[in-house]
Amino acid sequence: MPETFILIPGRTSRQGTTLNEGKYTDDYKDETNTLIASGDDMRRLGIADGDLVRMWNEVGSVVLPCKSASAGEMPSGLLFISYGPTSCHLMKAETHGSGMPDSKGMDVFLERVATG
């Protein structure tokens, strides 16, 4: 049974700078298509830095590399991804009458797919 996590997409400095370089640059794609997890969670799930993981929910599924957060940055159970096309792929359509889809705090499943 895959574990459930809470995914928080957000802005990063590199996301901002690479966005200016262009959405079709390797750096932008790399930045917005890399998952960050806590070291503890990665060890428990046998994920090494750079391994490919599958992350999915009822909306969609993505396969992407996973990297360890810096020490103390992320509590267990939380995942972070730089805001971009990949994070939006898992975003639910429902806005609960606000116009704003649930763009942070998404429930997702995570499993290791392959060595990076």
Partner 1 sequence: MSVAEQTQESTLPSLTIVKDAACTFCGCVCDDMELTVENNRITKAKNACVLGKAWFLNHHIDDRPDATIKGQPVSYEEAIEYAADILLNARNPVTYGLSDTTCEAQRVAVAITDWVGGTVDTTTSVCHGPSGMAFQGVGEVTATLGEIKNRADCVIYWGGNPAESHPRHFTRYSLTPKGQFLPNGRKDRYAVLIDVRKTKSAKAMDEFIQIKPRCDFELIWAMRALAKGVEVGPEIEQKTGVPLAQLQALVDRMKTAKFGVILFGMGLTMTRGKHMNTEAVLSLARDLNKFTRWTAKPMRGHGNVTGADNVVSWSTGYPFGVNLSRGYPRFNPGEYTTSDLLLRGEADAAMIIASDPMSNFCQQARDHFVRIPTIVLDPKLSESAKVATVAFTTATYGINVAGTAYRMDDVPIYLRPAFQSKYRSDYEILKAIETRIRERQLAAS
The binding site for partner 1 (CB under 8 A) comprises: 6, 8, 10-13, 16-24, 59-60, 72-75, 78, 80, 84-85, 88-89, 91-93, 95-105
For 58, 84, 86, 95, 106, the CA distances from 92, given in Å and listed in that order, are: 8, 14, 13, 8, 8
Q: Which of 18, 20, 38 is nearest to 79 (CA)?
A: 38
Residue 5 token pair: 């996590």
Which residue, 39 or 101, is less far from partner 1 as judged by CB? 101
The nearest distance, CB 115 to partner 1, in angstroms, is 27
Which residue, 34 or 103, is less far from partner 1 as judged by CB? 103
For 49, 62, 87, the CA distances from 115, given in Å and listed in that order, are: 9, 16, 22
The nearest distance, CB 114 to partner 1, in angstroms, is 25
Which residue, 107 or 114, is less far from partner 1 as judged by CB? 107
The nearest distance, CB 1 to partner 1, in angstroms, is 21
